[in-house]
Structure 1
Amino acid sequence: MIGTIIKISSNKTASVLLKQKKEIKKYRTSFFKDKKYLVHYNCMYLKIGMKVLFLYYKKISKRKSWKIIKILN
């Protein structure tokens, strides 16, 4: 999944916002759905607003089970 970093919480933890466009075909309308994920990163230089690729990983803590794989920009 591709998301945008919105907050760098603590050591090796960041919050990533995932925006998905949903569509209701019956009414021909579309809307955006937002979801926040806590992700883990190792030794990467991150800034707020960067786009990252993150995937499901083993459970690291209670709410953190995603890992940043690649920085896109």
Structure 2
Amino acid sequence: MNPDVYQAYTGATIERMQENLLKLSSLVTKERLHIRIPHIPHYNDKYYMAYSKMWVEDHLNVKPKLFEYLELPYNEDEKRV
């Protein structure tokens, strides 16, 4: 839920995503709402993940799942495979 990290990774501001999560949480039962928070190498770290987890728990009243993105190897042209 760090605005700088979110914008660096998505190119968008964080406010719309937060508003959409809040709207969704008012429409869906807590048992059906599953939030996943990724660790994205070179973008966020465990501190930001913990902060995001706390935000989700406080604002949506659900327990999110934390997970790791896997980095894909580069080919000889330095593009993702």
* TM-score in terms of structure 1 length: 0.21
Q: Which has the higher strand share?
A: 1
* TM-score in terms of structure 2 length: 0.20
Q: Which structure: larger Rg?
A: 2
Q: Which has the higher helix share?
A: 2
